[in-house]
Amino acid sequence: MPNSAMKKKVLLMGKSGSGKTSMRSIIFANYIARDTRRLGATIDVEHSHVRFLGNLVLNLWDCGGQDTFMENYFTSQRDNIFRNVEVLIYVFDVESRELEKDMHYYQSCLEAILQNSPDAKIFCLVHKMDLVQEDQRDLIFREREEDLRRLSRPLECACFRTSIWDETLYKAWSSIVYQLIPNVQQLETNLRNFAQIIEADEVLLFERATFLVISHYQCKEQRDVHRFEKISNIIKQFKLSCSKLAASFQSMEVRNSNFAAFIDIFTSNTYVMVVMSDPSIPSAATLINIRNARKHFEKLERVDGPKHSLLMR
Amino acid sequence: MANVDDKHHLISEVDHEVHPGPMNIQFDSSDLRSKRPFYIEPTNIVNVNDVIQRVSDHASALNKRIHYYSRLSTPADTALIAPDHVVPAPEECYVYSPLGSAYKLKSYTEGYGKNTSLVTIFMIWNTMMGTSILSIPWGIKQAGFTTGMCIIMLMGLLTLYCCYRVVKSRDTIHSLNTTTWEYPDVCRYYFGSFGQWSSLLCSLVSLVGAMIVYWVLMSNFLFNTGKFIFNFVHHINDTDTILGANNSNLVICPSPGSGGHSDNDSMIFYANDTAVQQFEKWWNRSKTVPFYLIGLLLPLLNFKSPSFFSKFNILGTVSVLYLIFLVTLKSIQLGFHLEFHWFVPTEFFVPEIRFHFPQLTGVLTLAFFIHNCIITLLKNNKNQENNVRDLCIAYMLVTLTYLYIGVLVFASFPSPPLSKDCIEQNFLDNFPSGDILSFIARIFLLFQMMTVYPLLGYLARVQLLGHVFGDVYPSIFHVLIFNIIIVGAGVIMACFYPNIGGIIRYSGAACGLAFVFIYPSLIYMISLHREERLTWPKLIFHIFIIILGLANLIAQFFV
């Protein structure tokens, strides 16, 4: 019986300067509080209160390349760090000139995972891909992916190539989140039913802290493939503005003669966005539908109960 | 869960239930127009099928991304600023409305790289022209006329070469994005934190040195201005009593015999007149006037941002042009007085070659100093390939200006009655306080310096407090203490050692050692060595430059 007080961790690790703090800041909409280049390694364990998908806590660690003080601290705290890990996300800088060293540090992290949290899911992000020429990106990524898969045995790792300057970062993290949700197929089926019943054009389910898309349903082809990330960025920007006024974002309605869109809190871990292209349906109707659906989806989460720690309150 | 049957119920329920739904903007479905925060007039809504120039989805996604990232960090943090290879070129940038139509702005340049060569050359010239121009005639006198001219040209060439090395230094770093780097950042890259701290120290030395010189000069000019006004109001003409030339255009020798600097001219002759006596007592060049300045300038130093003062930048150019005009006029009126004695000093002339010439090189190191900001100045040049050419032209113009003023003042100094040794470290001191033309010059320079002084203080404060405390304005107490120390140093110098030539040459040689001589040469040699292109001639030449810089500094103490 897992101790419900112990939070499960998502470890975000990688060499110092590989882009983890920026990544965390962008995905979770935190301000970058300081210039991490100047201060060197990030010590981020106890201060991270970012909750994610229920009760997952995000921890950042610099792994490899820091000074001996950090190295010793890291080694002494090793078991502590790698215990109770749900997800390990390891970030590789594609421009790094010390490939051997990077792989070495990665393998030592994997060893620690094998010892302390053998059920953890492992994801590898090959980051800063915008610095590679476009025509070479696929080739370089595939090479890296092969190497990483080989090195990770017997554990399985999923690889993504990312850059903060295009949609790949958002997509990678959305895929990661998607794989972390235990009953995602059931969620998708229910979402489809919901959408068809209320005659919505599109329904999206977002994770609450990061606005990463967990699942979506659309009844016809949409033109803009980047729309998920755009909505996520817009809302996170709005949340930042709200926090300046000590207000918190709850819901939004956008309406014109062509469509009406509603963004609202859904379950304890998700937000929903409903797009209706029939403007004659009054807002009130859609909002009531969302309210009733909410009750159903919450029941859905609770049914799968305590054995899915992700959805525990 | 609402299913098909419940739909009718839902719609009818609206009428008689105040739904306790989410607390967002909710309004009666019957009144579609009330309380909308962002209501777009129907005429402004463009049909989705209209064929207009539309922004691509990729571009608008990137736009949104950049907007969002800019909210996550401070402007100073470069981690989330879009790098050049990600942002489209300026010609491809459009302004688009949320409705999807896009407009291209004709004159979209964003102020980056829009200065013509002429403007860049003028800005470099303007920045380099400082108060060291007042000490150039004295420097020529110290070095000897011929030696002085040769040294001015040689120093100009040497500092130009080092400046060229500074400009090219960023190109030697290939692995990092150096577009926002200034020269201290390059030093930090090559020499670690030692490079950072030493370049900070040298920058501070030059700034604090300049501020002390400014204080001395401002006291001087304020004193002379006050004296002029007092004499004008009380109709006193005191120029007859001082050792001067015998014509209407007077040049005076305030300190007969070398060294010493009389603070209160003409005191002994008016012992009977109590008004003048009182004035002399309260308006003294080195005992009281420096303190009066404190009340004027210390408050100005405490401002968080002195951008207001940068609007007066034009005063500097006007002052220099006026000085050129003044010097030309005076030399026409006074005529040339030159005699060439090569090694032996005579009663009125100095030899052509003197051993005091390092004093001139010290002054010139600061006079030609622009190495800590040349990268920023050249960044805005429209045609970057002309950078080197524009730099050479600017240096040539600066050298010509210095030569012109130095040679004219030196040559026209009336030598038969006065000795060339009388040329003061601030050549305006050679004109009596009753002279109208130099009074105007002093007023111009006084105002100009009063507007530049807070800017210098701001730069020094930002660099020192920013690096030591991490915050450019930690608290009013830190800033106040810093300002009091700087002002105190200026006041002490003005009281006890108001020789601006001396201050300029010591601070110039000290800060020039790092920025002008050592770092550019060393960085060039290191980068060549890394690329294995270092040849013996280059090595010897650059080591020679470093030795010259060291000799420059050491000689200041012995000559």
ipTM of predicted assembly, 2 dp: 0.83
- Measured in angstroms, the CA of B53 and the nearest CA of chain A are apart by 16
pLDDT in tens, B204-217: 888 888 889 999 99
Query: Residue A70 has what pLDDT?
Result: 58
Spatial distance between the Cα atoms of B319 and B445, rounded to a whole number of angstroms: 6
Residue with tokens 């060049």: B285
Spatial distance between the Cα atoms of B327 and B412, rounded to a whole number of angstroms: 9
Spatial distance between the Cα atoms of A287 and A270, rounded to a whole number of angstroms: 16
Interface test with B, best of A129, A239, A259, A283 (most B CBs within 10 A): A283
| pLDDT beyond 60 at B43 | no
In this prediction, residue B395 has a pLDDT band, given cuts at 50, 70 and 90, of very high
Q: Does B4 touch chain A (CB under 8 A)?
A: yes
DSSP B25-49: ----TT-TTTT-SSPPPGGGPPPTT
Which chain B residues are Cβ-neighbours of A296 within 8 angstroms? 1
Question: Once rounded to an integer, what is the mean pLDDT over residues B50-57?
Answer: 58
- Measured in angstroms, the CA of A266 and the nearest CA of chain B are apart by 11
Spatial distance between the Cα atoms of B537 and B158, rounded to a whole number of angstroms: 17
User: Cβ(B438)–Cβ(B431) under 8 Å?
Assistant: yes
In this prediction, residue B112 has a pLDDT band, given cuts at 50, 70 and 90, of low
Spatial distance between the Cα atoms of B489 and B231, rounded to a whole number of angstroms: 31
The answer to whether the CB atoms of B68 and A285 lie below 8 A apart is no
Which chain A residues are Cβ-neighbours of B69 within 8 angstroms? 26, 164
Residue A204 DSSP SS3: strand
- Residues belonging to chain A: 313
- Measured in angstroms, the CA of B4 and the nearest CA of chain A are apart by 7
Q: Which of B24, B60, B79 sits opposite A251 (nearest CB)?
A: B24
In this prediction, residue B110 has a pLDDT band, given cuts at 50, 70 and 90, of very low
In this prediction, residue B108 has a pLDDT band, given cuts at 50, 70 and 90, of very low
Mean pLDDT by 10-residue block, N- to C-terminus, for chain A (313 residues)? 58 82 82 47 50 73 62 72 86 86 85 86 90 86 90 87 90 88 83 89 88 87 84 88 83 86 87 88 87 85 52 38
Residue of B nearest to A36 (CA): B79
Which chain A residues are Cβ-neighbours of B80 within 8 angstroms? 22, 25-26, 32, 164
Spatial distance between the Cα atoms of B224 and B218, rounded to a whole number of angstroms: 10
Query: Residue B17 has what pLDDT?
Result: 39
Residue of B nearest to A32 (CA): B73
Residue of A nearest to B57 (CA): A224
Query: Residue B396 has what pLDDT?
Result: 94
Query: Residue A4 has what pLDDT?
Result: 43
Q: How many C-beta atoms surround the C-beta of residue B502 within 10 A?
A: 18
Spatial distance between the Cα atoms of A110 and A105, rounded to a whole number of angstroms: 9
Question: Tell me, what DSSP letter sits at residue B249?
Answer: S
Is the bond leading into B254 cis (omega within 30 degrees of zero)?
Answer: no
- Residues belonging to chain B: 559
Which chain B residues are Cβ-neighbours of A257 within 8 angstroms? 42, 45
Q: Which of A35, A166, A224 sits opposite B57 (nearest CB)?
A: A224
The answer to whether the CB atoms of A197 and B21 lie below 8 A apart is no
User: Which residues between 20 and 49 in chain B have a beta carbon less than 8 angstroms from any beta carbon of chain A?
Assistant: 21-26, 29, 40, 42, 45, 48
In this prediction, residue B272 has a pLDDT band, given cuts at 50, 70 and 90, of low
Of the two residues B251 and B229, the one the predictor is more confident about is B229
The answer to whether the CB atoms of A31 and B11 lie below 8 A apart is no
**What is the overall mean pLDDT for chain B?**
78
DSSP A217-246: EESS--S-TTHHHHHHHHHHHHHHHHHHTT
Query: Residue B153 has what pLDDT?
Result: 94
Which chain B residues are Cβ-neighbours of A197 within 8 angstroms? 1-4
User: Cβ(A36)–Cβ(A48) under 8 Å?
Assistant: no
pLDDT in tens, B343-390: 777 777 788 888 888 999 999 998 998 888 888 788 778 888 888 999
Query: Residue A263 has what pLDDT?
Result: 92
Which chain B residues are Cβ-neighbours of A236 within 8 angstroms? 68
Spatial distance between the Cα atoms of B159 and B140, rounded to a whole number of angstroms: 18
Question: Once rounded to an integer, what is the mean pLDDT over residues B403-412?
Answer: 91
pLDDT in tens, B151-175: 999 999 999 999 999 988 888 787 7
Residue A14 DSSP SS3: strand
Query: Residue B236 has what pLDDT?
Result: 67
Residue of A nearest to B77 (CA): A35
Radius of gyration of chain B (CA): 32
The dihedral built from the CA positions of residue B28, B29, B33 and B36, taken in this order, carries a sign that is positive
pLDDT in tens, B286-307: 788 888 888 888 888 887 776 7
The answer to whether the CB atoms of A198 and B2 lie below 8 A apart is yes
Query: Residue B270 has what pLDDT?
Result: 46
The residues pairing with B72 across neighbouring beta strands, listed in sequence order, are: none
Radius of gyration of chain A (CA): 21
- Measured in angstroms, the CA of B471 and the nearest CA of chain A are apart by 12
Spatial distance between the Cα atoms of A39 and A6, rounded to a whole number of angstroms: 31
Q: Which of A223, A226, A264 sits opposite B61 (nearest CB)?
A: A226
Spatial distance between the Cα atoms of A12 and A21, rounded to a whole number of angstroms: 9
Tokens for A122, please give them.
Answer: 């492992």
Spatial distance between the Cα atoms of B332 and A267, rounded to a whole number of angstroms: 91
Which chain B residues are Cβ-neighbours of A94 within 8 angstroms? none
Query: Residue A309 has what pLDDT?
Result: 43
| pLDDT beyond 90 at B551 | yes
Q: Does B336 touch chain A (CB under 8 A)?
A: no
Spatial distance between the Cα atoms of A57 and A46, rounded to a whole number of angstroms: 10
Which chain A residues are Cβ-neighbours of B64 within 8 angstroms? 229-230, 233-234
Residue with tokens 């595939």: A142
The answer to whether the CB atoms of B67 and A233 lie below 8 A apart is yes
Q: Which of B71, B76, B86 sits opposite A240 (nearest CB)?
A: B71
Tokens for A287, please give them.
Answer: 């909002």
The answer to whether the CB atoms of B1 and A194 lie below 8 A apart is yes
Query: Residue B36 has what pLDDT?
Result: 42
Tokens for A243, please give them.
Answer: 């926090």
In this prediction, residue B111 has a pLDDT band, given cuts at 50, 70 and 90, of very low
